Protein backbone atom coordinates (compact mmCIF):
# COMPACT_ATOMS: atom_id res chain seq x y z
CA UNK A 1 0.00 0.00 0.00
CA UNK A 2 2.87 2.38 0.75
CA UNK A 3 4.30 1.91 -2.73
CA UNK A 4 0.97 2.83 -4.34
CA UNK A 5 0.68 6.01 -2.26
CA UNK A 6 4.29 6.98 -3.04
CA UNK A 7 3.64 6.49 -6.74
CA UNK A 8 0.44 8.57 -6.53
CA UNK A 9 2.21 11.44 -4.71
CA UNK A 10 5.07 11.31 -7.23
CA UNK A 11 2.65 11.28 -10.15
CA UNK A 12 0.79 14.34 -8.84
CA UNK A 13 4.09 16.18 -8.35
CA UNK A 14 5.27 15.30 -11.85
CA UNK A 15 1.94 16.31 -13.40
CA UNK A 16 2.03 19.62 -11.53
CA UNK A 17 5.61 20.23 -12.64
CA UNK A 18 4.83 19.44 -16.28
CA UNK A 19 1.90 21.86 -16.30
CA UNK A 20 4.08 24.54 -14.71
CA UNK A 21 6.78 23.97 -17.32
CA UNK A 22 4.31 24.10 -20.21
CA UNK A 23 2.80 27.32 -18.86
CA UNK A 24 6.23 28.92 -18.52
CA UNK A 25 7.15 27.88 -22.05
CA UNK A 26 3.86 29.29 -23.36
CA UNK A 27 4.47 32.57 -21.55
CA UNK A 28 7.80 32.96 -23.34
CA UNK A 29 7.00 31.60 -26.80
CA UNK A 30 3.46 32.70 -27.65
CA UNK A 31 3.13 35.72 -29.92
CA UNK A 32 0.55 38.16 -28.57
CA UNK A 33 -0.30 39.30 -25.07
CA UNK A 34 -3.68 37.58 -24.92
CA UNK A 35 -2.16 34.20 -25.80
CA UNK A 36 0.67 34.75 -23.32
CA UNK A 37 -1.95 35.49 -20.68
CA UNK A 38 -3.85 32.26 -21.34
CA UNK A 39 -0.95 29.83 -20.97
CA UNK A 40 0.27 30.67 -17.45
CA UNK A 41 -3.17 31.17 -15.92
CA UNK A 42 -4.40 27.75 -16.99
CA UNK A 43 -1.10 26.05 -16.29
CA UNK A 44 -0.66 27.63 -12.90
CA UNK A 45 -4.10 26.48 -11.84
CA UNK A 46 -3.45 22.91 -12.94
CA UNK A 47 0.21 22.89 -11.86
CA UNK A 48 -0.44 24.19 -8.37
CA UNK A 49 -3.49 21.92 -8.19
CA UNK A 50 -1.28 18.87 -8.84
CA UNK A 51 1.19 19.89 -6.15
CA UNK A 52 -1.62 20.55 -3.68
CA UNK A 53 -3.19 17.16 -4.40
CA UNK A 54 0.17 15.55 -3.71
CA UNK A 55 0.44 17.51 -0.46
CA UNK A 56 -3.08 16.54 0.63
CA UNK A 57 -2.44 12.86 -0.11
CA UNK A 58 0.90 12.98 1.69
CA UNK A 59 -0.53 14.65 4.81
CA UNK A 60 -3.42 12.20 5.00
CA UNK A 61 -1.06 9.29 4.52
CA UNK A 62 1.69 10.31 6.99
CA UNK A 63 -0.08 12.46 9.56
CA UNK A 64 -3.43 10.72 9.46
CA UNK A 65 -5.55 13.88 9.12
CA UNK A 66 -6.71 16.15 6.35
CA UNK A 67 -5.08 19.57 6.39
CA UNK A 68 -7.45 22.45 5.77
CA UNK A 69 -4.63 24.68 4.53
CA UNK A 70 -4.24 22.88 1.21
CA UNK A 71 -7.98 22.94 0.58
CA UNK A 72 -8.12 26.69 1.28
CA UNK A 73 -5.15 27.33 -1.03
CA UNK A 74 -6.82 25.29 -3.77
CA UNK A 75 -10.06 27.25 -3.46
CA UNK A 76 -8.18 30.54 -3.45
CA UNK A 77 -6.22 29.64 -6.61
CA UNK A 78 -9.28 28.31 -8.45
CA UNK A 79 -11.27 31.45 -7.60
CA UNK A 80 -8.65 34.14 -8.17
CA UNK A 81 -6.73 32.93 -11.26
CA UNK A 82 -9.63 33.34 -13.74
CA UNK A 83 -10.65 36.68 -12.26
CA UNK A 84 -7.09 38.00 -12.46
CA UNK A 85 -6.78 36.83 -16.07
CA UNK A 86 -10.05 38.60 -16.89
CA UNK A 87 -8.83 41.88 -15.38
CA UNK A 88 -5.50 41.70 -17.22
CA UNK A 89 -7.32 40.99 -20.50
CA UNK A 90 -9.60 44.01 -19.98
CA UNK A 91 -6.61 46.26 -19.30
CA UNK A 92 -4.99 45.01 -22.49
CA UNK A 93 -8.15 45.72 -24.48
CA UNK A 94 -8.40 49.25 -23.07
CA UNK A 95 -4.82 50.10 -23.90
CA UNK A 96 -4.12 48.34 -27.16
CA UNK A 97 -7.26 47.66 -29.16
CA UNK A 98 -9.27 49.84 -31.51
CA UNK A 99 -12.82 49.23 -32.74
CA UNK A 100 -11.44 47.94 -36.05
CA UNK A 101 -9.00 45.50 -34.46
CA UNK A 102 -11.60 43.83 -32.23
CA UNK A 103 -13.82 41.03 -33.51
CA UNK A 104 -17.57 41.56 -33.87
CA UNK A 105 -19.23 42.05 -30.48
CA UNK A 106 -22.64 40.73 -31.48
CA UNK A 107 -26.05 42.36 -31.74
CA UNK A 108 -25.52 45.23 -29.32
CA UNK A 109 -22.04 46.08 -30.69
CA UNK A 110 -20.78 46.64 -27.13
CA UNK A 111 -17.87 45.01 -25.33
CA UNK A 112 -18.04 44.15 -21.64
CA UNK A 113 -15.09 46.40 -20.85
CA UNK A 114 -16.33 49.73 -22.14
CA UNK A 115 -18.19 51.43 -24.92
CA UNK A 116 -15.63 52.05 -27.68
CA UNK A 117 -16.68 55.16 -29.53
CA UNK A 118 -16.44 54.85 -33.30
CA UNK A 119 -13.66 56.87 -34.85
CA UNK A 120 -14.81 60.19 -36.24
CA UNK A 121 -14.75 60.52 -40.00
CA UNK A 122 -13.09 63.43 -41.80
CA UNK A 123 -16.48 65.06 -42.40
CA UNK A 124 -17.39 64.96 -38.68
CA UNK A 125 -14.04 66.47 -37.68
CA UNK A 126 -14.49 69.44 -40.02
Q: What is the pLDDT of residues 4-52, one digit of tens each?
A: 999 999 999 999 999 989 888 888 888 877 777 877 787 878 888 899 9
Q: What is the pLDDT of residues 47-56, one digit of tens each?
A: 888 999 999 9
Please state, in angstroms and rounded to a whole number, the distance separating the CA atoms of residues 89 and 94: 9
Please state, in angstroms and rounded to a whole number, the distance separating the CA atoms of residues 23 and 105: 29
Please state, in angstroms and rounded to a whole number, the distance separating the CA atoms of residues 105 and 123: 26
The DSSP code for 22 is: H
Cβ partners under 8 Å of residue 53, min gap 6: 12, 16
Contact (CB, 8 A) for 61 and 5: yes
- Count of other CB atoms within 10 angstroms of residue 41: 19
Please state, in angstroms and rounded to a whole number, the distance separating the CA atoms of residues 80 and 124: 44
pTM over 0.85: no
- DSSP, collapsed to helix, strand or coil, labels residue 87 as helix
Amino acid sequence: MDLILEIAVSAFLIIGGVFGLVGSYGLIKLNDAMSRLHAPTKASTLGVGGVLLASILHSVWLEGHLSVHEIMITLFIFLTAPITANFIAKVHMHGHETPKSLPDAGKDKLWATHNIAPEATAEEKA
